[in-house]
Chains A and B, each alone.
Chain A
Amino acid sequence: MLNSKKGNNRVRSLFYTLINTNVVIIALIIGAIAIIAIGGFRYYLIQNITAKDLLLHRNIKEDIEEMASAATDILKYVDRATKDAAQENVNEIIKSINQVNPSFKNIEILDHNGDVIATLPEYSTDLGFSRSGEEFFKAIDNGKKTYWGIPIVSSTTGDTTVTISIKASEHIIVGYLDLRAIQQVIQKSNAVGDVYLSVVLLDQFGRYISGPDMSLAEQRRVSKDFPIIRDQAGDLSTKSYSTTDQMQFLYTGRVEGPDWYIALYDDYGETLNVYRPVYYLIGVALFVVAVFAFLGSYSTSKKVENEIQQFIKYTASLSSGQYDSPIPNNRFREFNYLASNMNQMAQSILERDRSLHTLAYYDSLTGLYSRTALNQDFLLFLKEGNEAVSLVYIDLDDFKSINDSYGHSFGDKVLSSIAERILSLCNNESTAFRFGGDEFVILVNDSIDGKRALDFAKSAIDSTRTNISVQNREVYISLSAGICTLARGAIIDFEQMLQFADIALYSAKRSGKGVFTFYEPTMDIQQRRATDIKQSIRSAIVKGELYLCYQPQLHVHTSTDYRLRGFEALLRWNSSEFGLIPPAEFIPLAEETGVIFQIGLWVFQEACSFILELNRNFKSNYVMSINISPKQLVRADFVENVKRIVRETEVQCNWLELEITEGVLLENVEVAINHLSELRSIGISISMDDFGTGFSSLSYIHQLPINTLKIDRSFISKLESNTVSEKMVESISLLANNLGLTLIAEGIETSNQANKLLDLGCYVMQGFYFSKPIEGKEQVYQYIESQAHSI
């Protein structure tokens, strides 16, 4: 994971990158410091050494030159001292002079032939010796005033010596220098006693005259550095030369007079080695610094890594949904900023989650729990201690019409009001949810008989029996409820309970709304049948399974004397799958699925075509009453479709009568009025069917452009036995008469009912007493012909 490759860039560990980078930087810095410190120290040390050496070299050279000059002076002094001395005293004079200035091993005075005529007394055996073969004699004899010889072994002393000879007034005086004396001069100059310094004196051929190792001079050895010394010496100049052999500085020069070479060696490598402890100290100090720096870097990098690891853990917990553990503050300000921002972000996420949760969990309109809460935490809402759980599924009846009539804002307030009432009915054993739209679900911890759910449903339905006042407007709305009660152990999941309650609700709706129904297993069958019918109804028109029955409507004089007014077209469906399905069953389903529009148009088309055919054939003006569903009426294209069909079928509008129910008032009333007015304007009659059974107010009835009122069969069926029904029919008859409306009664089954109605002023009737709905056009033709014969 740490060193994986990602694309073209190598992914590295931050910790090790920090360490490596810091180590490199530390190493570079330490190295630079070491180089500068040690190098600088070494440089200044060498500079100091060089300056000191040059000074010393100059001093020694001057001392040697002074010595050489002094040696010459001694010989000159010998000459002066012995010039007029008696021969027998000369040797002593030489001795005394040499004692004062013991630079010479021996001093000889030679005659012009080169014979020794005077010498130190101890070498008196050499008196008379011929020095004519010696180079110094030859040189002086050839005109030199002063001659410095090369190192030779003295035939007198056996020591290695260098001769200095001068041309004296009458003789040649030669001194045999004591090389140790020269060495002493050098040693005296180097009185500081720097053990790393050494001075060598070489003749003009590089032979040692003096040096730290006098054996080299005694052996008349040639210095291996002589070529360098000679080349670097120049003309009495002093130059420095650095060799790499032993880290030595070599300062060379020429000594005036003897024409010697003086070289000062400074084994500065050894000198520098003296300061090696300083280097070690610097090295140790830098090493310690490096170690501490590394440790510090490691520690800091580790701390940074730890902080980042904390962030990694924190972001991991964030990604897993844990927002409640903020990152604590740490020592790094930048991380604190980051932590603060991340904590704020987490808090925002948490709050947003909570908000979202609240939004998801609670319905913002009503404040009730939401459908989401119910889906997610269904089981959490179930409390322990009860043997069963009931789910009350409440649906507001015809709520859509309120939205359509008064707007959604009004509708929301209605919902809020309903929700308040529902919520007020809840207690510790019940929890209310807004399930969506106009649906509510209440979970009730119940007994196995569902008593609490029953009470709740009843209370809820009763609570809406009073009008709801919203925005100074009174609204009447009912609700239906389906209840499902299951033993706790039988509960599989929420969806199952809801499905059962939904079936029960559907049953309640079909039972008339404003009621509640407990789920029964048989409802499943009904629900399934209703679903199947909904599926089949779509293809009923294509399959030709739909057909119309025509129930005669008659002008009645007496129960036995009546004349055909026209027919009411009644839709029938002979399903190949289900057989004959009552209109009361499939019409609502058609309305639910929206197929009702297609069916309605087909019915209208068929009815128009048939009435046209009948009236043409019988040269009559029979009226065809056609039922129109409220949903169909308020469709935008309804009037246009009616006009189109009228045009296409060429039916006369006065032959048509559209039957509407009071339920139309639950749809968009204004649109209904407009459509009906337009249809009235072209001559189509409008009949209010099932008058008295709906919940319309008279003001709306007044606005509707109706021609006819049809008294619902429920009044007729009780006409004979129920005074109230009789009074109702009488009232309706009076109303119709006062409004100039035609009154039609339907559902007449007996002559008594017919007679009664006649007494009550209702003269148009239809019902089984006169004729049940006629199937088939041939049968209608036969009926009409039979009626014609009976007149």
Chain B
Amino acid sequence: MRKKRCVIQVTACILACLLFCLLCSCKKPDVVRVGFSASLTGFNSELGVSGLYGAQVAVDEINSNGGILEKQIELIVLDDKSSPEQALKNDLILVDAGCDFVVGHMTSDMAETVIPFFSEQKKLLISPTMALASLEGIDDFLIRLIPSTDAQASMIAQGVEEIGAHNLLIVSSSYNKVFAESLSKRLTAELGNTKTSVQIFPSFDFRSSAQAEQAIEYIGSSKPDCIVLICAADDAARFAQMMRINDVKAVVFLPAWAMTTDLLQHGGEAVEGFYGVNYIDYSSSAPQYLEFRDTFLGKFGSEPNFASILTYESIMLLAQAIEQAQSTDAVIIKNQIITSRSFRGLQSELIINQFGDITRPTYLYQILGGSYVKLEEGQ
């Protein structure tokens, strides 16, 4: 009798332990995994790195407030090294790691490769800065926090007209070529009915000094009224330096792509007076924006640029949609974002259409005294 009781007790203990282990193993994860993929190293990594910083601020802010759906956000970061192939690999990795949402892919040259993947996987891509016009009006699994190149083209065209330029030379980087082509095309269209003639210099590798010198030489010889440099900030700064050295002067317009702190730092005197388009009002006094700016400055020791802000807004938009939908299903969230139609950004209300395309203010800046000075606001 006593032996039997001992056996029962021991068996009960073992079963209890097994059950406990089973329950532990079945414990649901208490995180929402969000992927971040961008170029984080080398030239032209400014967008990616500053975007990552913006995402980090957003994630820290959400998690410190209890997370979403009582879960913490886990940001999984991968470097695509400015390679579309690597970007796709990263997306595969992120999806396998449990990410239903990916924020990133800061440049348009990634679009052709990655967007079909997200549509196929029914995972949601939120790109802060992928501005390619051809992505507009498509029902896909892409939400963009940046208007298309058309908006930039319009702003640049407006600026070109205002200075009364008669001939415009578009100089673009072979890196992110689709963006350059898109912008060039739109710009040409915008200026098509104006007195300004548009000339497009063949895209080249701005890192190649020889090719850059050729371009400069051409500029020097053709003497356009203004130049539109479609390239990243580093490339723009370097090109400007070379122009300065070669004493080639021109009015330069830059897309938002180049409008980062790197341009100012690396451009120095060479970029003084350049014009550029941006989607952020650096002089905004919106409390949320100021708070974000102070946090960013304190955290990273540098001013946030548009990539930081748009990436921050991307994360916040995602978090808001999850809270509203009470779901982490990508399809549901996409619909939630689209049906919500509007989102309160750091500086203004942002309108998102049924295709996930956004409308937000556009600003024209000029670099004066080593800083960005807002000139005009467009829509």
Contacts and interface: CB of A to CB of B under 8 A. Distances in A.
A168 to B, nearest CB: 19
A129 B268 CA distance: 8
Interface in B210-268: 234, 237-238, 241, 244-245, 262, 264-268
A222 B50 CA distance: 12
Contacts of B301: 150, 204-205
Interface string A118-154: 0000000111111111110100000000000010110
Given A16-B2, A205-B299, A113 B43 contact: no
B268 A215 contact: no
Nearest to B50: A220
B79 A155 contact: no
A2 B245 CA distance: 107
A153 B268 contact: no
A3 interface: yes
A137 B269 CA distance: 12
A130 B244 contact: yes
A162 to B, nearest CB: 13
A158 interface: yes
A13 interface: yes
B369 to A, nearest CB: 11
Interface string B297-319: 00111100000000000000000
Given A128-B245, A129-B241, A153 B46 contact: yes
A63 to B, nearest CB: 26
B245 A155 contact: no
A155 B49 contact: no
Interface in B256-284: 262, 264-271
A13 B2 contact: yes
Contacts of B1: 2-3
B2 A218 contact: no
A222 B299 contact: yes
B268 A131 contact: yes
B56 interface: yes
Given A133-B268, A219-B49, A221-B77, A155 B2 contact: no
A464 interface: no
A59 to B, nearest CB: 29
A160 interface: yes
Given A3-B2, A205-B300, A133 B41 contact: no
A13 B301 CA distance: 78
A114 B268 contact: yes
B67 to A, nearest CB: 16
Contact of A219 (B41, B266, B370): B41
Given A114-B269, A153-B234, A160 B300 contact: no
A125 B77 contact: no
Given A114-B268, A128-B245, A133-B268, A160 B41 contact: yes
Contacts of B266: 133-134, 155
A160 B262 CA distance: 13
Contact of A152 (B52, B237, B265): B265
Nearest to B367: A133
A152 B301 CA distance: 12
Contacts of B79: 215, 219
B42 interface: yes
Contacts of A128: 241, 244-245
A132 B268 contact: yes
- B contact patch SS: helix
A204 B301 CA distance: 9
Contacts of A218: 40-42
Contact of A129 (B77, B207, B245, B300): B245
B326 interface: no
Interface residues of B, number: 36
Contact of A220 (B49, B209, B244, B245): B49
A559 B302 CA distance: 184
Contacts of B241: 126, 128-130
Contact of A2 (B2, B234, B244, B265): B2
Nearest to A15: B2
Given A2-B2, A16-B2, A150-B302, A132 B269 contact: yes
A728 to B, nearest CB: 98
Interface string A1-44: 01100000000010010000000000000000000000000000
B45 interface: yes
B355 to A, nearest CB: 32
Contacts of A115: 269
Quick one: which of A16, A114, A158, A207 has the most chain B CB within 10 A? A158
Contacts of A219: 40-41, 45, 49, 52, 77, 79
A325 B225 CA distance: 133
A212 B295 CA distance: 29
Interface in A191-208: 204-205, 207
Interface string B44-85: 011001001100100000000000000000000101000000
Contact of B270 (A3, A130, A215): A130
A275 B269 CA distance: 62
A129 B40 contact: no
A135 B301 CA distance: 11
B244 A135 contact: no
Contacts of A160: 41
A643 B54 CA distance: 149
Given A155-B237, A155-B238, A133 B299 contact: no
Nearest to A129: B241
Contact of A133 (B52, B238, B264, B302): B264
B300 A222 contact: yes
Contacts of B2: 2-3, 13, 16
A215 B269 contact: no
A160 B245 CA distance: 25
B282 to A, nearest CB: 16
Contacts of A152: 265
Contacts of B302: 150
B370 A153 contact: no
A221 B207 CA distance: 25
Nearest to A160: B41
Nearest to B261: A133
A135 B265 contact: yes
Contacts of B271: 133
Given A153-B45, A222-B299, A129 B234 contact: no
A127 B52 CA distance: 33
B43 to A, nearest CB: 4
Given A3-B2, A130-B241, A205-B301, A158 B270 contact: no
Contacts of A16: 2
B43 A158 contact: yes
A153 B46 CA distance: 8
B272 to A, nearest CB: 9
A2 B271 CA distance: 100
A586 B42 CA distance: 154
Contacts of B77: 219, 221
A13 B6 CA distance: 14
Contacts of B238: 129, 155
Interface string B187-209: 00000000000000000000101
Given A13-B2, A130-B244, A134-B268, 15 more contacts: A3-B1, A130-B269, A130-B270, A132-B370, A133-B267, A133-B271, A133-B370, A134-B265, A150-B302, A153-B42, A153-B262, A158-B207, A205-B300, A219-B49, A219-B52
29 contacts: A16-B2, A114-B268, A126-B241, A128-B241, A129-B238, A129-B268, A130-B244, A133-B264, A133-B266, A134-B265, A134-B268, A150-B302, A153-B41, A153-B43, A153-B45, A153-B262, A155-B43, A155-B266, A158-B207, A159-B42, A205-B299, A215-B41, A218-B41, A218-B42, A219-B40, A219-B41, A220-B40, A221-B77, A222-B300
Top 4 A-B pairs ranked by shortest CB distance? A130-B268, A133-B268, A219-B40, A132-B268
Interface of B: 1-2, 40-43, 45-46, 49, 52-53, 56, 77, 79, 207, 209, 234, 237-238, 241, 244-245, 262, 264-271, 299-302, 370
